[in-house]
Chain A
């Protein structure tokens, strides 16, 4: 392309416009071409799709016989084929990196420490501890026992004891969803321990009541506390 000096501004603008249009076109084609559904193809493009082969009436018998032969050959080959060894590839990789069990347990332990270090609000602590201790007695059909409840100023730690780790593994979801008259978030982790260790296990259910405290800590009337079926 030759550009004379006298027409430079117009030619430069033309150059920019052409290049913008070219770039836009290239990106649009690259970005969308591959995922375009068949329904959106033009008639010309659609005509390029492979057509299903349909036999003519004259060739019907020959065509059906050849299909039958191919089917029989496939069936025979399949029967003679030795069974492939079954190998478990394991779970496919997932895009989000989950925290490990060790990390989760460490986070939980850290939150228990933070709870223990929290300043004490004596009045709130007394009321909330009493409420939660009573509510965790509504645990019919389970094997856990609320050994202790410790509330500070916005958090509580409820120590639940199960007769064995297996029973804790079977019932921790139920403990997590325990209805209480204090509307608090809660978190639980059943700690790892060597399989050689048996006997009772203590599990800490942490309760974060910060939203409830901000709302003035309204305790649900006792008659409205859900009573669960065993």
Chain B
């Protein structure tokens, strides 16, 4: 075998083997946030206590931040799940994804998901990345992501509906 051929063979095989060995497997990342990450986003009086809405007749709008880190950016998230205690038999706990534009006074929110109007209890649901016009902006990692939440009023007996937390994964 010609020495040049041997040299080329040696280099080629070394490179290929090296690439195979050093190729890192793709990693799965997840993140969980408790209710305390959320803030009341509207309302003249502070009514968000221990994750629950303390108002007797009005729904609260909350903003629950989605923290982007290098290993789990919001465009990479395939799962965004929201967990709640719904104690109101009329109104539902509702959540939706939003992004606020990096360079503009504006933003966009996606379709909502909710706990069901007449049902009560503890549960969770997936928050969708739809419609497509919303997903286009969500998939731009420069914008700032959050979850919008409607938290229904407490019952006449004083039992609050509450956010438990939310889960995100790629």
| A→B interface (CB under 8 Å) | 3, 8, 12, 15-16, 19-24, 26-28, 30-31, 94, 96-101, 104-105, 108, 111, 141, 168-169, 172-174, 176-177, 179, 183-190, 208-212, 220-221, 223-224, 226-230
Contacts and interface: CB of A to CB of B under 8 A. Distances in A.
B98 A176 contact: yes
Interface in B26-74: 41-45, 47, 55, 57-61
A3 B5 CA distance: 13
Contacts of B105: 168-169, 172, 189-190
Contacts of A105: 104
Contacts, number: 174
B112 interface: yes
A27 B91 CA distance: 59
B101 interface: yes
B82 interface: no
B150 A187 contact: no
A176 to B, nearest CB: 6
Given A16-B9, A19-B10, A184-B111, A27 B59 contact: no
Contacts of A96: 140-142
A188 B1 contact: no
Contacts of A174: 41-42, 61
Interface size on B, as a range, is 35 or more
A228 B104 contact: no
B13 A176 contact: no
A20 B92 contact: no
Given A187-B134, A211-B131, 12 more contacts: A15-B6, A23-B16, A24-B21, A26-B14, A99-B103, A111-B133, A141-B43, A141-B44, A184-B131, A185-B131, A189-B104, A226-B152
B81 interface: no
Contacts of B14: 19-20, 22-23, 26
B59 A224 contact: no
Contact of B103 (A98, A211, A229): A98
A185 B44 contact: no
A186 B148 CA distance: 12
B112 to A, nearest CB: 5
A189 B103 CA distance: 11
Given A23-B18, A179-B150, A211-B131, A187 B108 contact: yes
Given A27-B19, A228-B42, A183 B131 contact: no
A98 B142 contact: yes
28 contacts: A15-B10, A20-B16, A23-B16, A98-B102, A99-B101, A101-B104, A104-B103, A111-B133, A141-B43, A141-B44, A168-B105, A172-B105, A174-B41, A177-B42, A179-B59, A187-B137, A188-B108, A189-B104, A189-B105, A189-B106, A190-B104, A190-B105, A223-B90, A224-B90, A226-B94, A229-B42, A229-B59, A229-B60
Nearest to A189: B106
Given A24-B20, A99-B103, A12 B111 contact: no
